[in-house]
């Protein structure tokens, strides 16, 4: 039993923590045995400037390049296109998120009240174009995330050319190119981008 409880104690320190049922088991054991197990997770603060290559690798796993298309009656086409670069972590890692925001020197940090998470988000078009795209051109993300970045760059190009403000231009941002980013990518054929297309990628 002690070995199982020790595993629970270690799991409680992970970001997702314990379910209510497992937490009750752990608390019950400690109360009955008189044994106290530390559940405190060590907070490691980042004091050095982040390495660009580390950031590229980190974003490859935990970053997101996304585009939201929503209705907006104030726009002639009836829709607005909002690109966004974001990184979300457990609130325990607030120090890392703050360092990431300081590194890029743009974007905002926010944390919802109902969940223990913290986000760094860049949504301003000029910051995405001049800072985010420029950085990841020089320090590319890896794996399937580079395909997300490729599609993201294509959409940013359309927005900068103001093509999204016309009905014909808006059609160039079809459901396929939005849906193929992130979890849905394996189910859709990717629309390619010339400048940001990885050499080995194909349809």
The domains of the chain, with CATH numbers, are: 2-33 (no CATH), 52-187 (3.10.28.10)
The DSSP bridge partners found for residue 86 are 64, 121
123: left (phi over 0), alpha (psi -120 to 50) or beta: alpha
User: How do residues 69-116 score in pLDDT, each as one tens digit?
Assistant: 888 888 887 888 889 999 998 888 889 999 999 999 999 999 988 888
Q: Which residues contact 83 (CB under 8 A, 6 or more apart)?
A: 65, 66, 67, 123, 125, 128, 152, 155, 156, 159
Q: Which of 29-33, 89-93, 116-120, 196-200 has the highest mean pLDDT?
A: 116-120
Say how far apart CA 166 and CA 158 lie, in whole Å: 11
Q: What pLDDT, on a 0 to 100 scale, did the predictor assign at position 97? A: 93
CB atoms within 10 A of CB 75: 13
Residue with the two structure tokens 């794996």:
143
pLDDT at position 92 is: 82
User: pTM (2 decimals)?
Assistant: 0.69
Residue 2 scores a pLDDT above 60: no
CA 195, chain centre distance (Å): 23
What is the band of 37 on the pLDDT scale with cuts at 50, 70, 90? Answer: low
pLDDT at 148: 87
How many Å apart are CA 81 and CA 128, to the nearest integer?
A: 14
């Amino acid at each position: 039993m002690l070995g199982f409880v020790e595993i629970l104690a270690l799991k409680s320190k992970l970001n997702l923590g314990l379910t209510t049922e497992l937490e009750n088991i752990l608390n019950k054991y400690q109360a009955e045995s008189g044994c106290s197990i530390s559940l405190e997770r060590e907070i490691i603060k980042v004091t050095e400037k982040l390495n660009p290559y580390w950031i590229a690798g980190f974003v490859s796993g935990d970053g997101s390049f996304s585009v939201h298309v929503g209705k907006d009656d104030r726009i002639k086409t009836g829709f607005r296109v909002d690109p966004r670069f974001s990184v979300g972590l457990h609130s325990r890692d607030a120090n890392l998120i703050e360092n990431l925001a300081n590194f890029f020197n743009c974007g905002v940090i926010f944390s919802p009240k109902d969940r223990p998470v913290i986000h760094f988000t860049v949504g301003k078009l000029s910051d995405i174009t001049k800072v985010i795209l420029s950085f990841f051109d020089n320090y590319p993300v890896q794996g399937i995330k580079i395909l997300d970045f490729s599609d993201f760059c294509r959409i940013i190009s359309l927005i900068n050319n103001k093509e999204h403000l016309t009905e014909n231009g808006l059609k160039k941002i079809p459901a396929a190119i939005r849906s193929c980013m992130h979890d849905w990518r394996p189910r859709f054929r990717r629309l390619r981008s010339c400048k940001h297309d990885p050499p080995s990628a194909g349809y």
